[in-house]
Amino acid sequence: MEVENVRMHRLPFKHTSDHYAAESLAADMDKWIVYVCGMMETSLEEWLEKNAPSQLTRSSGVGWICITRFPGSNTRGSDVMGLQHAWESLKSSGRSINRHVIMELAKNYNVLAGKWMIQVQSGFKVDQLWSFICRGIMTRILSSNTAKVSPVSTEESCYGDRHVICIYNNDFTNEDEVFELEAGLRRIGIKCPLHYKPDVYTYLGVYRNNEWGLRPTIYASMYDITKRISVVHLCE
């Protein structure tokens, strides 16, 4: 795997950061369909067949489809409320807001989880990629305890007809941990582009096209099929 430090060009998007934040919050508050490894009466394969993301819809009240080995492990010890209160104070203070400030807030309040994200069209492909990831978590091939995928979106969705898959790790500041998970995703057959986002941005409602011009993803991974290697870019 090669790691390059490059400047990523921001492209225009139709939706604002507030639109993405509102949609994410609404999904979080809706029904979650969760498979807890080692604690279910049904097998993983039966659960996957019954709950394929291409067959479940946001309009039916499903927010996320999730697999986990340890429920709540990504937020254990995190002071999310303290983080959000500090964020509101920072915004009202008039002080400069940049990536460094947000990273320091994350460390101060122990909000360190992050996730590799995949956007994929609905249909067979999302079901296949999701099954790869679930089996990777179940068998511990992936160094992740939790992953989730969005169901079929409504027509008004910021993501159109694409699903979002999130594969979590515990500490975005630990580069070895972040890159180990990326490498694991490549080994199980995930070849599409990946983007890595610390959870602190999600908790603060900072998405693309935000008023501070911040990029909420810190790494982008592209797979070179000809060389059979990943190239991970540091997003600036």
Residue 18 vs residue 184, higher pLDDT: 184
Residue 80, φ and ψ in degrees, nearest 5: -70, -40
pLDDT at 20: 73
Q: What letter would DSSP give residue 63?
A: E
- pLDDT tens digit sequence for 39-96: 999 999 999 999 999 999 988 999 999 999 987 766 778 999 999 999 999 999 989 9
Q: Which amino acid is at 138?
A: M
User: What is the number of structural domains in the chain?
Assistant: 1
- Pairwise CA distance, residues 208 & 220, whole Å: 14
Which pLDDT band, with edges at 50, 70 and 90, does 6 fall under?
Answer: very low
Q: What is the pLDDT of residue 64?
A: 96
Label residue 194 exposed, middle or buried (CB < 10 Å: 0-12, 13-18, 19+). buried
- Per-residue pLDDT tens digits for 193-219: 999 999 999 999 999 889 999 999 999
Residue 3, pLDDT score:
52
Tens-place pLDDT, residues 103-146? 999 999 999 999 999 999 999 999 999 999 999 999 999 999 99
Q: Tell me, what's the pLDDT at 18?
A: 73
| CATH number of the domain to which 159 belongs | 3.30.760.10
Domain that residue 175 falls in:
2-71+79-234
